[in-house]
Every structure is written in structure tokens, then in C-alpha cells.
Amino acid sequence: MHNSNPASPILQLKDVQIAYGGIHAVKGIDLELYKGELVCLIGANGAGKTTTLNALAGTLTLAGGDLVYEGESIAAMPAHKRLRKGIALVPEGRGIFTRLTVEENLRMGAYIRNDSAEIEADLEKVYTMLPRIKERLQQVAGTLSGGEQQMVAIGRALLSRPRLLLLDEPSMGLAPLVVEKIFEVVQTVKDEGVTILLVEQNANLALEFAQRGYVMDSGKISITGSGDELLANPAVREAYLGEAA
């Protein structure tokens, strides 16, 4: 069983508030992740999940509260410095460079690194994990299927050697078999010791994989618990798993 408190958390959100365009999107949330955990954030559209991930990656600034990563406040740290500290985001909609080849996209993930031999070794690891991508290295990324583009986006993030991987809606718009493959990759990444915060519309699937989950509702955390507890919670089942109570 997962030990819920092996040490201090790798990541803490303390009373985090985020506002943009006059909208108070996140209204004071607390959340923590421990090293090696896969934690999911579920909730309806517009609940503030993507906003939270973007704030963690450094593309949105906080209106209040604090972000503490590996014991240090990163609330004022620019996005590129967060990447150097091991925080990588795979954004909703994948965000790949559609006009570059698959290989060029993957190498973009390593642009903050200068250990060429290790970059090549990491590329080989990604090719082993994502064999479909290896077959398409010289293909222009914009011509790939949605599932292949998602794999490129994950591969690119892995090339930055993240310690904390933020995944935003990795299954969105993908066929069930492809989703299964994406989640196998997510599990492999977790097994290698990377801590993962996952935002996922498919709550059933997310909770099956996650040690713990947080339910977000209108910018606040409404329920939290282990993946199993949330799967069994009647309110969660009714609201997010499509079942009548």
C-alpha cells in the first residue's frame, strides 16, 4: 500500500487563488503531492482544473496563496525556471509543434539540457516506451493521428527529465484503445519514480490509476480521498461517473 506520508510533500498548493479576465477561477485550494504518487484532479468543465495546472507550470500568476515545490516557494518563479527544476506540463490539446518533425518535437523537450550523450539515451528510452513514435520520427508532427500527437507531447515532456509531470486531459478525443496505451505509458512513467498530477475528464479511468484524487467544483476542492474511496463515493459516482445515486 502507498504510504501517504513518506516525508514532506514534493508539491503543496496553499490557499491558491487564480483570477483572470475578471473571473475568480480558483478560490483558495489546498492540495499536496508526495514523491512518486499519481494524483488526479477531476471535476466538471470550468471547475478550474486546467487553470490550476497552468499556474503550476508558471503560465498564470497567482492572485493569492502559495506554491511550494521541494520545500521552496515557486509562486514568483518564471515558467522556464520551473522547467529547469523538473516541472513539465503536457498541455490540454497537446501543444506540439505541428510543422516540425516528430524527432524535432522530441528534441525540443531537451532544449534546457546540454548532456548530449544522456539526451540520446533518453530518446532511446522514449522510443522503447512509444514504439509507434519511433516509426514516424521524420514525419511532420501535424500529420499524425491525435493519439500519436499525444504520445509525442508526453515524450517531449519526458525529455526535460521531469520530477513532476503535469498532464492535462491526455485522453481527450482519443479512441478507447489509444487511451489504454496512453495510460500504460503514464503508469510506466510513474513506475520510474516521476510524480504525476493528472487532470482527466474520464474520471473512472483516472481514479483507477491514481493513488489519491481531488474533486474540484467551481474553483474549490469539494471532496478528496484515495482513488478507491472516490470511486466508491456516491456523490462522485453520480456527478462524475455517470451513475444514478
Residue 186 has what pLDDT?
95
Distances (CA, A) of 123 to 83, 107, 117: 18, 8, 10
* pLDDT for 103 beyond 70: yes
Q: Which domain holds residue 163?
A: 37-58+78-240
- In three-state secondary structure terms, 168 is strand
- Compute the average pLDDT of residues 170-194: 94
> Does 143 fall in a domain?
yes
CB atoms within 10 A of CB 200: 25
> Does 17 fall in a domain?
no
> Does 70 fall in a domain?
no
> Does 27 fall in a domain?
no
| Of 3 and 12, more confident | 12
Of the candidate ranges 1-15, 16-30, 205-219, the one whose mean pLDDT is the lowest = 1-15
Residue 6 has what pLDDT?
54
Of the candidate ranges 2-11, 85-94, 106-115, 179-188, the one whose mean pLDDT is the lowest = 2-11
> Does 65 fall in a domain?
no
Instruction: Return mean pLDDT, the chain.
Output: 93
* Total domains present in the chain: 1
Cite the DSSP H helix spans in the chain: 49-57, 79-84, 102-108, 116-129, 131-134, 146-158, 176-191, 203-209, 227-232, 234-240
> Does 212 fall in a domain?
yes
User: Using one digit for the tens of pLDDT, what is the confidence trace for 130-147?
Assistant: 999 999 999 999 999 999
pLDDT band at 2 (very low <50, low <70, confident <90, very high): very low
> Does 5 fall in a domain?
no
The set of residues, in sequence order, having a beta carbon less than 8 Å from that of 89 and lying 6+ positions away, is 53, 54, 56, 57, 59, 157, 166, 168
Residue 224 has what pLDDT?
97
What's the pTM? 0.93
CB 190 within 8 A of CB 196: yes
Domain of residue 104, CATH code: 3.40.50.300
Q: Scanning the structure block, which residue is given the C-alpha cell 534546457?
A: 112
> Does 25 fall in a domain?
no
